[in-house]
Amino acid sequence: MTVLEVIQRSTEFLSRKGVDSPRLQAELLLAHVLRLQRMRLYLSFDRELTPAEQDAYRELVRRRGQREPLQHLVGSVCFCGLELAVNRQVLIPRPETELLAEAGWELLNRRAAAGAGSLRVLDWGTGSGCLAIAVAVHCPQAEITALDASSAALEVAAANVARHGLTPRVRLIQSDGFSSLGPAEKFDLILSNPPYIPTAEIAALQPEVRDFDPRCALDGGADGLDCYRRIAREACGHLRPGGQVALEFGDGQAEAVRRLLEEQKWIVEAVREDYTHRPRILIASQTLTNG
């Protein structure tokens, strides 16, 4: 069977299974099996697959038809141009979270340009380590502490940190929220993409998310805002003077998150939109209380 034939058959199969962008998914899986860049497939349509290649590809397509995420099948995801390992122990980073990372390194580089010395960052709920790694790469002055309650997630993060040669600058700590931090540990920036899906809405999510992302990385409590309440109450005690928080939140949550922070005397400096022009990133400070 040729490359073109297996792509066509797999596209039809994935389409019947309700998979989004079935042709693209079929091509990406085949490129993974053949260890080619996807666009190289177009120069190889007449190539015959070996029986071993057919078997390997057929198994991946079958699993994708069961809605297992593409990123799990190929074992990695590209985040801010960086290749990161992912599995069922961590949330697959979304494109909008790249905007949170970008906001983070922009804020830090601005502080560096203003003459700040050492820059310390807290990644609250690191998962795969995507935010910590992207910020470390784009802000060489920054030292990052990355927290997660899940030891399994921290194993994935540690592998990703090592992969990018950042072990000296990214410290990983198992912690339920801020609980493992000493009172003297303070940061210039606290970044977080916390769980924000209301509990009752998880059952209606796409199977790729509902059945394969860790529930603890999705479930934000009854209204989706439990983690924001905790951050609003506790983060100010871990900020240096003039420090900031940058938070990602879900659709329709902008005003509720703003209100939670303002009730705790935070100054909301900006709310940024995502690629679909929905409010997605909130930046706030405690400038007045921190002097």
Strands annotated E in 114-198 = 119-124, 142-148, 170-174, 187-192
pLDDT tens, position by position, for the chain (291 residues)?
999 999 999 999 999 999 999 999 999 999 999 999 999 999 999 999 999 999 999 999 999 999 999 999 999 999 999 999 999 999 999 999 999 999 999 999 999 988 877 899 999 999 999 999 999 999 999 999 999 999 999 999 999 999 999 999 999 999 999 999 998 999 999 999 999 999 999 999 999 999 999 999 999 999 999 999 999 999 999 999 999 999 999 999 999 999 999 999 999 999 999 999 999 999 999 865 443
Class of domain 3-66: mainly alpha
User: How far is CA 90 from each of CA 1, 36, 168, rounded to the nearest angstrom?
Assistant: 36, 26, 23
Tell me the domain boundaries of the chain.
Answer: 3-66, 89-290
The C-alpha atoms of residue 179 and residue 93 are separated, in whole angstroms, by: 25
Q: What is the pLDDT of residues 127-165, one digit of tens each?
A: 999 999 999 999 999 999 999 999 999 999 999 999 999
For residue 189, what are the contacts with CB-CB under 8 A and spacing of at least 6?
104, 107, 108, 119, 120, 121, 122, 243, 244, 245, 246
Fold of domain 89-290? Rossmann fold (3.40.50)
Q: What are phi and psi of 114, to 5 degrees?
A: -85, 0
